[in-house]
Amino acid sequence: MKLQNETLNRWADEIWDKIVNKVSQTSQRIGVSFPYASVNGTYTDEDADWWTNGFWPGLLWLIYQHNGNERLKSIAAACEEKLDEPLHAFTGLHHDVGFMWTPTAIAHYKLLGSEASKRRALTAASHLAGRYNAKGKFIRAWNQEERVGWAIIDCMMNLPLLYWASEITGDPRFHHIAVEHANTTLREFIRPDGSVRHIVHFDPETGERISVISGQGYSEDSAWARGTSWAIYGFTLSYRYTKDIRYLAAAKQTAAYFLSQLQPGQAPSWDFRAPADSKAIQDSSAAACTASGLLELAKHVTEEEAVFYEQKAIEILQLLDQYYGTWDDSNEEGLIRRATANYPKKHFVEVPIIYGDYYFAEAISKLRGNELSYW
């Protein structure tokens, strides 16, 4: 979408320039590595199998898409090659292969037609399809023996890898698996008020639900903010690929809940039902992901609804720019402050995190008229 308001166009262009300038500088140190969270202004470097490793090269591809920067393209392509180790090791992989290879290999293939990248993405899709539990109709999240029946809301953002693979190969099995998992998520994860469960534990032999697990939320009955973001964006994407109206309804329902919980002038609390002693802990990455998801949602609704979702996304992005942006801090590599990875484990609390940076940049890219989606 390209904004009709000239003032907003200028603002989006200015923010984009700030993103490009910052990443052009930080990429000189970060290079071909896998940044995750910023500690004292410097991004950590994760092992190759870490679930967030697609977001740094994905951010570089976003910038390349706009300005053709060959240096950033080379870094992104080298990061993708570095991911071959976990891709072919197989045993260490998890359901987040969508997060890893959609903004890397699929981006590379869509932008430049790389056949090697297409093969990587199809291999990743095969790994993801292999995690499907046919009895419970869900995709298993992790590999630990005690988690054999666990599925999580985050996986809604991995399903586009399967939809894409089905389109590319003409094999409907990838699509069928994605749909069955989305249906299970719709039934078991979304509450009537639009809040979202993080983890549901199924009996892997019978497929019956055993329990709900709090995961990164405060409790089993709470409302982890980023989980709501994954639902908003993920169900919107499933609607885009399937045109199943139930998914669009779920995206609207979870978006309504998320927006109803926001407080003026701040990013969302890490959990919308957190107790008073931690309610003030924020997660700007949930805001950034939601903003990008709302811009996608606006493409699939009535004109009146589209105006509403676009405006809410812009409000969120302007808030992040004004209060959380690091544009004037040359000692900070991250773009957006106060993202929270895992508050219950006190794991990277209120620091820049790479997926918050990625989704913020993705949303600004959309505002500037970029219609090519990696997802």
Flag whether 151 is in a domain.
yes
* Identity of residue 168: I
pLDDT at position 3: 63
Flag whether 220 is in a domain.
yes
Largest Cα–Cα distance in the chain?
Answer: 58
Q: How many CA atoms lie within 13 A of 323 on its CB side?
A: 17
d(CA 162, CA 129): 7
Does the pLDDT at position 68 exceed 70? yes
d(CA 357, CA 291): 12
Does the annotation count 328 as an active-site position?
no
Flag whether 219 is in a domain.
yes
In what order do the strands lie in the sheet containing 209-213? 150-152, 199-202, 209-213
Neighbouring residues of 344: CB distance < 8 A, sequence distance ≥ 6: 214, 216, 217, 218
Flag whether 325 is in a domain.
yes
> What ranges in 209-330 are assigned the alpha helix state H?
225-242, 245-261, 284-297, 303-324
Flag whether 272 is in a domain.
yes
pLDDT at position 5: 86
Q: Please, which pLDDT band fits residue 335 given cuts at 50, 70 and 90? A: very high
Among 49, 96, 271, 321, which one carries the catalytic annotation?
96
Flag whether 374 is in a domain.
no
The pLDDT > 90 percentage for the chain reads: 96
Flag whether 373 is in a domain.
no
Q: Whole-structure pTM over 0.85, yes or no?
A: yes
Among 13, 45, 84, 154, which one carries the catalytic annotation?
154
* Per-residue pLDDT reduced to its tens digit, 175-230: 999 999 999 999 999 999 999 999 999 999 999 999 999 999 999 999 999 999 99
> Which tokens in the block code for residue 104?
């890397």
* Per-residue pLDDT reduced to its tens digit, 108-124: 999 999 999 999 999 99
Phi and psi at 35, nearest 5°, equal -65, 145
* Per-residue pLDDT reduced to its tens digit, 46-60: 999 999 999 999 999
Flag whether 1 is in a domain.
no
Q: What is the mean pLDDT of the chain?
A: 97
Instruction: Please tell me whether residue 33 adopts helix, strand or coil conformation.
Output: coil
Domain range spanning residue 331? 6-367
Check which CATH number belongs to the domain holding 251 and give it: 1.50.10.10
d(CA 357, CA 35): 11
pLDDT at position 114: 98
Does the annotation count 49 as an active-site position?
no
Q: Are the C-beta atoms of residues 169 and 160 closer than 8 Å to each other?
A: no
For the chain, how many structural domains are there in total?
1
Q: Please give the angle made by the CA atoms of 98, 77 and 71, to the nearest 5 degrees.
A: 135
